[in-house]
Amino acid sequence: MDEKFWQSIRDEFPVTRHLAYFQSAGMSPLPNCVVKAVTQAYERLSVWGDMYFLQDLERADRLREKLGRMIGTTADNLTFAPNTSTGFNYLAAALKAGADKPFNLVSLMDEFPSSHIPFEYQGIQIKFVKSCNGVYSVDSIMKATDENTLGVVCSYVQYSSGFRLDVKALGEALKEKGLLFILNATQAFPIFDVDVQQMHVDALSVSFHKWGLCGLVGSMLFTSEEFRRRFPLPMAGWLSVQPPADDFIPTQKETTYQQFEDARQYNFGTMNFQALAGLDAAIDFMETTGRENIRQRILSLTDYLLEKLKQLPLNILSPLDAPEYRSAILLVDLTKGSNAGAVEFLRENHVVTSLRAGKIRISCNFFNNKKDVDRLIEVLKKYFTTL
């Protein structure tokens, strides 16, 4: 794709008129099509109230079908949760209630808290694997398992360093040992492909405010049929149990409620359908642009950024020894000055990065261009002159 094409994409993001924005790993800005879809959805709610509730429910079902095709599964295995922490709390409760003996899980030391706190808070032991220069090998993860390990819970891409895990190889190794694979793909999908069948994923969460271009819409929660059979959810809401034949509301009282066997068992109640309209539009926008095009654009801009960063007094902490480790995230540590001071100085000069683990995290997205990168480098150089 030529620069004319990417400029047309860039024009869809109003943020580019004001900022050099490198904080999509925190929250992506919205393109015009998403703002339009959400605005229209709320305007319809304003004008017509609850008249279109059932149609909104049907649209959410079609969105689940769309997302299911993208990750190699069906809508029956998908639901929406408020966020990854909520979804993983569901999984933790199900594991604790369904396990027939004491167990532990294995995770990675650099994980974002939503990947492990829901399990630890339930009293589930987590064994944390340390990285080797930011790299987590499949062998190191598998060596941490023991006879009491039930599975592994970890991220596809690490939120701070940007290290991208070989999830297919890990999934195969876990399947061979009969262990569960619970994956947080928030910092990867939809930029990097997910196929829950080929990767042997038992449960997965993706929060879409990072790379989904749609704000705080919530997360997609996938569970396999086998996972739900082994570990049914020990809680329920009005939309997660089967209603009588003549109603969609379970109005029956003083009865034994029958939980849905599919992923609807995680769907406790109504959701923000207006926000989901934005997610639907965002997915269509990225599919039309081409997810492979988006991925290559991001990696190309990151290559350019890397070359420019090497001119500055800093260390690049993200593991770059192999192309398969790369993601949209770079973590750097200044050798002079303050990382926190530099992030604030950049912000004051309309260049947005973030501070993670006390270091500077920079994340390129496909609406960025080389001029944004040049601006980032220029402002960092200016910061060094102030020291």
Q: pLDDT tens, 166-219?
A: 999 999 999 999 999 999 999 999 999 999 999 999 999 999 999 999 999 999
What is the three-class DSSP state of 98?
A: helix
- Of 93, 98, 96, 66, nearest to 80 by C-alpha is 66
The predicted structure's pLDDT at residue 245: 84
Q: How confident is the model at residue 321 (pLDDT cuts 50, 70, 90)?
A: confident
Q: pLDDT tens, 325-369?
A: 999 999 999 999 999 999 999 999 999 999 999 999 999 999 999
Q: How confident is the model at residue 270 (pLDDT cuts 50, 70, 90)?
A: confident
So what's the architecture of 35-285 in CATH? Answer: 3-Layer(aba) Sandwich (3.40)
The answer to whether 3-22+290-385 and 35-285 have equal CATH topology is no
At 76, list the tokens: 């029956």
Domain boundaries along the sequence of the chain = 3-22+290-385, 35-285
The predicted structure's pLDDT at residue 236: 93
DSSP 5-46: HHHHHHTT-GGGGT-EE-BTTT-PPPPHHHHHHHHHHHHHHH
The predicted structure's pLDDT at residue 247: 85
CATH fold of 3-22+290-385 reads Aspartate Aminotransferase, domain 1 (3.90.1150)
Cα separation of 46 and 299, whole Å?
42
- Of 111, 126, 222, nearest to 165 by C-alpha is 111
